[in-house]
Amino acid sequence: MKLARLGPPGAEKPALIEAGGRARDLSGIVPDITAEALGSGLLQRLAALDPSALPYLPDGERFGPPVRGVGKFLCVGLNYRDHAAESGIAIPEEPVLFMKATSAICGANDAIVIPRGSLKTDWEVELGVVIGRTARDIPVETALAHVAGYLLVNDLSERAFQLERGGQWVKGKSCDTFGPIGPFLVTTEEIPDPQALSLWLEVNGTRRQNGHTSDMVFDVAFLISYISRFMTLCPGDIISTGTPAGVGLGLRPPVYLGPGDRMVLGIDGEAGVSLGCQTQICRAWAQ
């Protein structure tokens, strides 16, 4: 299944996205796609539905974040060998974890706001994992059973805030609009192997990132198990699993985003499986 939330900010309706891209209205079945609903058997109930009985939503609606009420937005740094190399940092022996504020979350195609004073806003295409069942100190072998689905993430970063202002990375990762997710949540039966996905990102029509999840240092199952040793993962939590090479920081000379720049990014699997695309235009900060 592909699940989405469509409509203006704060008034999104839950939707089921058909293979052809049209959206069926789920609001008569569930009030919203929330972290709480994911933990209460929502996916099992939706799987038993006859989608043809659901009314269509109008075409052209905005894609909001596909899950409301995300509790934790966890990120993994330096999880692709080529990205660690371009950053000039050794491949980590254990996953590098940091938090991204949930207030950064926005819709897949919403405008990206360049923060006040920013000169180094950067892009990062990533695979996001949405937790569907509580995970607490679980083994690798059963980790994927705790996944509700997968989604596309642009882990935007302000590199000066992240690397030059002291403290931890969270400052450069959590600006408003720095967490576009979606356009939809793709449930696990469509993605049997999260290590068989291609990631890509373009800026102003130039391909900047090409990667594959098989190149992760730590795979999805290991990350879920590892993180669950240090904190309980709850339904609706998101793990953004790292980015391949090609970020602006790694170019020579570095290239960063400014007002008017356009990003297009996506994740594709085998046999036509896709986590969809995002398209974002950057705009200047305004008080």
Judging by beta carbons within 10 Å of its beta carbon (0-12, 13-18, 19+), is residue 143 exposed, middle or buried?
buried
Tokens linked to 19? 């293979």
Residue 86 domain flag: yes
Tokens linked to 28? 């008569």
Residue 5 domain flag: no
What pLDDT, on the 0 to 100 scale, is given for residue 270?
A: 81
Residue 112 domain flag: yes
Judging by beta carbons within 10 Å of its beta carbon (0-12, 13-18, 19+), is residue 256 exposed, middle or buried?
buried
- How many domains is the chain partitioned into structurally? 1
Using the predicted structure, report yes or no on whether residue 237 has a pLDDT greater than 90.
yes
Residue 118 domain flag: yes
**CA torsion angle 84 166 172 82 (round to 10):** 0
Residue 91 domain flag: yes
159 is in which domain, residue-wise? Answer: 67-284
Cα–Cα distance, 45 to 54 (Å, whole number): 14
What are the pLDDT digits (tens) for 203-234? 999 999 999 999 999 999 999 999 999 999 99
Using the predicted structure, report yes or no on whether residue 157 has a pLDDT greater than 90.
yes
Question: Which pLDDT band, with edges at 50, 70 and 90, does 287 fall under?
Answer: low
Residue 37 domain flag: no
What are the pLDDT digits (tens) for 255-264? 999 999 999 9
Q: Side chain identity at 136, as an amino acid letter?
A: R
**223 near 131, Cβ under 8 Å?**
no
Question: Which pLDDT band, with edges at 50, 70 and 90, does 86 fall under?
Answer: confident
Residue 31 domain flag: no
Residue 262 domain flag: yes
Cα–Cα distance, 234 to 89 (Å, whole number): 31
Instruction: Write the DSSP assignment of 217-270 as a string of letters.
Output: SS-HHHHHHHHHHHS-B-TT-EEE----S--GGGSSS---B-TT-EEEEEEE-S
Q: What is the mean predicted confidence (pLDDT) over 167-176?
A: 94
| CATH assignment at residue 270 | 3.90.850.10
Question: Which pLDDT band, with edges at 50, 70 and 90, does 251 fall under?
Answer: very high
What are the pLDDT digits (tens) for 14-71? 999 998 899 999 999 999 999 999 999 999 999 999 999 999 999 999 999 999 999 9
Using the predicted structure, report yes or no on whether residue 271 has a pLDDT greater than 80.
no
Which residues lie below 8 Å from residue 284, measured CB to CB, with a gap of 6+? 113, 114, 259
Work out the number of other CB atoms within 10 angstroms of the CB of residue 129: 31
What pLDDT, on the 0 to 100 scale, is given for residue 198?
A: 97
Kindly state the percentage of the chain with pLDDT values over 90.
Answer: 92
Q: What's the Cα-to-Cα distance from 249 to each of 62, 95, 124, rounded to whole Å? A: 31, 21, 10
Q: Side chain identity at 53, as an amino acid letter?
A: A
